[in-house]
Amino acid sequence: MTKPPPPVASRPPKTRIRQSFERAAPTYDSAAAIQRGICDLLLASLPAGLAPARLLDAGCGTGHALSLLSQRFPGAAALALDFSPAMLQRVAPPADRLAGDLEHLPLAAASVDLYWSSLAVQWCELPKVLAEARRVLRPNGQLALASLGPDTFHELRHAFAGVDSYRHTLAFHTPGEIAAMARAAGFASIAVRQESRTAHYANFKMLLKAVKAIGANQLGDGRRTGLMSRSTFAAAEAAGETLRTPAGLPLTYDVVTLIAHP
């Protein structure tokens, strides 16, 4: 008997996601060192001999991954898709830019050979994203996806745990849940890998600023909607300082990659 996929965690409203990344577009590249490293990790996970004629970067942001993909696959036609027009405006040609929703791709069935998505699907309903990826991939196509796992930003949860009752991070899927959702969507040869990446900051204010600069702040349900008081900030800062390392205050990205094909 086939085991049903795990329950889906609720995601923020799409208008809120778009607004957050519209605001972050001007600062994203300057704050996205970890994100660039994750693109390198995902690229290294692609199978040898892959030669897509048409590839899609789903949730492309400012287009960093597209430059890597064009070097790896110089003969491929590239599609850059993102929910944020401000992000898309920063994508350089020759990629064709397309505004769209990962849960409802504006593409024909069996129209791409490589579906690539790095650090975008965590903002979406993952079963819907995977079903759409399966739909647009050709029979011999390849899925390459990087998302975030449950340990992501655990330092923020620690800092605010005794300070307020607001939610400061999303509920991220486990590797096992991601694999189960991929199987339910019709993917095979599923390879899931988990790896931790950590950024460090000189102080708590810079850590929060970096999270905001990449558009990842205050998106989930139960988030703070008003300004943080000085006393709240001071208490969270003090709690955050208990995690300080010689490199600075840590911020963890629990990276989960998924490589599969239809």
List pLDDT tens digits, range 36-83.
899 999 999 999 999 999 999 999 998 999 999 999 999 999 999 998
pLDDT at 21 exceeding the cut of 50: yes
Name the burial class of residue 43, with classes exposed (0-12), middle (13-18) and buried (19+) by CB atoms within 10 angstroms of its CB: middle
Average pLDDT over residues 144-162: 93
pLDDT at 125: 94
List pLDDT tens digits, range 105-133.
999 999 999 999 999 998 899 999 999 99
Which band of pLDDT confidence, cut at 50, 70 and 90, is reported for residue 98?
A: very high
* Mean pLDDT comparison of 48-62, 85-99, 151-165, highest-scoring range: 48-62
Q: Per this entry, what is the length of the chain?
A: 262
- As a whole number of Å, the end-to-end CA separation of the chain is 21
List pLDDT tens digits, range 184-209.
999 999 999 999 999 999 999 999 98
DSSP string over the chain:
-PPPPPPPPP---HHHHHHHHHHHHHHHGGG-HHHHHHHHHHHHHSPTT---SEEEEET-TTSHHHHHHHHH-TT-EEEEEES-HHHHTTPPTTSEEEE-BTTB-SS-TT-EEEEEEES-GGGS-HHHHHHHHHHHEEEEEEEEEEEE-TTTTHHHHHHHTTT-S---S--PPPHHHHHHHHHHTT-EEEEEEEEEEEEEESSHHHHHHHHHHTT-SS-STT---SPPPHHHHHHHHHHHHTT-BTTBEEEEEEEEEEEEE-
pLDDT at 11 exceeding the cut of 90: no
Cα–Cα distance, 217 to 157 (Å, whole number): 13
pLDDT at 20: 63
Q: For 14-150+171-200+250-261, CATH number?
A: 3.40.50.150
Average pLDDT over residues 214-220: 54
- Using CA atoms of 176, 217, 10, 45 in order, give the dihedral in degrees to the nearest 10: -30
Higher pLDDT, 233 or 14: 233
pTM, to two decimals: 0.84
**Cβ-contact 228, 174 below 8 angstroms:** no
Cα–Cα distance, 131 to 103 (Å, whole number): 8
Which band of pLDDT confidence, cut at 50, 70 and 90, is reported for residue 234?
A: very high
